[in-house]
Structure 1
Amino acid sequence: MFIAYAVVAVLLALALSASALFTFTRNPQITGSMAKLGVPESWFPWLATAKAAGAIGLLVGLAVPALGAAAAIGVTLYFLGALVTHLRAKDYAVAPVVVLALLAAATLVLRIASA
């Protein structure tokens, strides 16, 4: 189970790192999407920091199981919040958010199963 956790955690950490970088650097595609959803621009640094912290937590969680589980919980909650934000804005193109939320939940299950 640990190998499965490691693979899923690293893939999710890469996705989170890229998303955090694009948010920090104000990539027009990312910031435009977030603005369309009604996310205030003042939240961008905080959301990018949350994604970066989740990525770091998942990677450190390879060695520290409790931190990996906590990071997986945080990332799952982050993407559930993103899903709610999309639905409240009546934006039903939620496939990427759902996939990432499920990937985060799978990471949590695998982290617990491999401990």
Structure 2
Amino acid sequence: MFAAYVIVTTVAVVFNGGAAGTYLIGHDYPKAQADMKRVPRSWVPVLGALLAAGTVGLLAGFAVPVLGVLAATGLVLYFTGALVAHLRVGSRQLVGWAVFFVTAVAALWVNVAHTW
């Protein structure tokens, strides 16, 4: 179980860290996604900061397991909000969302299993 915890959490860190980076450096893709979902562009850095906080929390969870659980929970909530944003505008382009959401749920599951 420990190997699954490390692997899944590391994959979640890589995915969310990469996404946070694209949001925080001002890449065009997050801006286009914000426009498509009718989210103000001023939210893009905030969303990137939330992803970065989740990433750092998952990493901190290796030292303090409860932080990993809290970070994974936050990421699940973040991607639940992303689904709402997609559905609100009628977007059916959910493959990317599904990959991130499943990764966040898996990270939550392994972090809870490892912690308790």
TM range (shorter): over 0.9
Name structure 1 gaps, 5 residues minimum. none
Runs of 4+ aligned structure 1 residues displaced above 6 Å come to: none
Aligned-residue sequence identity (percent) comes to 37
Over the aligned positions, Cα root-mean-square deviation in angstroms equals: 1.0
Partners of 1:28 and 1:110 lie apart in 2 by 33
What SS does the aligned partner of 1:71 have? helix
Partners of 2:108 and 2:29 lie apart in 1 by 29
After TM superposition, give the deviation of residue 2 of structure 1 in Å. 2.0
Paired residue type of 1:69? V
TM score, norm. by length of structure 1: 0.94
Equivalent residue pairs, number: 115
Name structure 2 gaps, 5 residues minimum. none
Partners of 1:87 and 1:69 lie apart in 2 by 27
Map 1:1-115 to 2 at 5 A.
1-115=1-115
Partners of 2:98 and 2:80 lie apart in 1 by 8
Structure 1 residues 20-56: Cα deviation after superposition (integer angstroms, max 9, x where no partner): 1111122112211121111101111111100000000
